[in-house]
């Protein structure tokens, strides 16, 4: 496995990488969810291609009161995990290497980023779109793999690729969960034992809400959101950021419970913000 920290060195090397190139952007602190993305990338690279993983805690997608400084950075352990999966190349630049002094150009998505996490975290998706654009230019991948847990991010990246004509196919990978249903996240380690015990309520409420949609025991998105909020509030430590029933393509609120639709939640446990979602593509799915 080759390790590169210079954008210029990576860009020079990219021209000679065996194709196809399958790319997984990460911020490190790798867990089984990330490793599922790398495993998918290895499948897509099909033996003869190249699997590239970036490990970069991107400062531009963190707000001023968020957890950039304390975000976990176990780089050596991350590299051991990636080598064990047969990753070919790790790109691990510094912030100074990725962002030049007085940088003044950002990539702004103006529609999908207005709702859900975009409304709660102003500027977050500008940081995401800018760094992904830079990484796509540097890596020149044929495929890029993202997790469906970050549903809004996945939708925005797909729109980015479509609107800016990147020759990259975006592949979404289903959310990987703990045994009790909690979606795997690097931020789960922030939870206290009491918070961790209550956190699986996100998945439980989403699954129960999906059942209510399928069984037609609720008649409108407003009724469903009201029920989901009440169910989440049964966890004493849960502080709800948002509960939404949205169109999976536009991410706007759905006027009816007609699939396809995505049920999405964001909840704070203490200072830790967790997100989760369930996609209903049909009334039977």
Q: What is the pLDDT of residues 119-143, one digit of tens each?
A: 999 999 999 999 999 999 999 999 9
Whether 34 is a known active-site residue: answer: yes
Per the rule left: phi > 0, alpha: psi between -120 and 50, beta: everything else, 10 is alpha
Do residues 143 and 173 lie in contact, with contact meaning Cβ atoms separated by under 8 Å? no
pLDDT greater than 80 at residue 75: yes
Model confidence, pTM: 0.97
Structure tokens at 217: 């025991």
Q: Which domains does the chain have, with CATH numbers?
A: 2-173 (3.40.50.620), 186-276 (3.30.1300.10)
Pairwise CA distance, residues 257 & 266, whole Å: 20
Per-residue model confidence as pLDDT tens digits over 175-227:
999 999 999 999 999 999 999 999 999 999 999 999 999 999 999 999 999 99
Q: How confident is the model at residue 283 (pLDDT cuts 50, 70, 90)?
A: confident
What Å distances lie between residue 261 and 29, 249, 271, 277, 280, CA to CA?
31, 9, 29, 10, 5
Residue 153: is its pLDDT beyond 60?
Answer: yes
Buried residues in 112-144 as b, exposed as e (16+ CB within 10 A) = bbebbbbeebebbbbbbbbbbbbbbebbbbbbb
Mean pLDDT (whole number) for 44-67: 95
pLDDT bucket at 237, cuts 50 / 70 / 90: very high
pLDDT of 285 higher than 90: no
The answer to whether 160 touches 126, Cβ cutoff 8 Å, is no
Question: Which pLDDT score is estimated for 73?
Answer: 96
User: Of the listed 34, 108, 137, 203, which one is catalytic?
Assistant: 34
pLDDT in tens, 78-94: 999 999 999 999 999 99
Please tell me the predicted confidence (pLDDT) of residue 284: 67
Write down the residue that tokens 């729109």 correspond to.
159
pLDDT of the residue at 56: 98
């Amino acid at each position: 496995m080759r390790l590169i920290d210079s954008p210029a060195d990576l860009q020079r090397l990219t021209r000679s990488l065996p194709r196809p190139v399958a790319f997984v952007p990460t911020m490190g602190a790798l867990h089984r969810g990330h490793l599922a993305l790398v495993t998918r990338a290895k499948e897509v690279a099909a033996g003869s291609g190249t699997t590239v993983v970036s490990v970069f805690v991107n400062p531009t997608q963190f707000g001023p009161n968020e957890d950039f400084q304390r975000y976990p950075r176990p780089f050596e352990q991350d590299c051991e995990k990636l080598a064990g999966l047969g990753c070919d190349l790790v790109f691990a630049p510094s912030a100074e290497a990725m962002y030049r002094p007085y940088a003044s150009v950002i990539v702004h998505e103006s529609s999908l980023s207005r709702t859900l996490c975009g409304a709660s975290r102003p500027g977050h998706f500008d940081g995401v779109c800018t760094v992904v654009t830079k990484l796509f230019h540097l890596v020149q991948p044929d495929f890029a793999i993202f997790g469906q847990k970050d549903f809004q991010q996945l939708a925005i990246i797909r729109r980015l690729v479509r609107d800016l004509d990147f020759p990259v196919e975006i592949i979404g990978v289903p959310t990987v969960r703990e045994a009790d249903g909690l979606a795997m996240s690097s931020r789960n380690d922030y939870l206290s034992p009491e918070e961790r015990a209550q956190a699986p309520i996100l998945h439980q409420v989403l699954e129960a809400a999906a059942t209510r949609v399928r069984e037609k025991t609720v008649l409108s998105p407003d009724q469903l959101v009201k029920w989901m909020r009440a169910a989440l509030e049964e966890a004493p430590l849960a502080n709800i950021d948002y509960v939404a029933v949205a169109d999976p393509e536009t991410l706007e609120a759905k006027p009816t419970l007609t699939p396809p639709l995505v049920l999405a939640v964001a909840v704070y446990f203490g200072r830790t913000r967790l997100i989760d979602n369930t996609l209903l593509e049909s009334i039977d799915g």
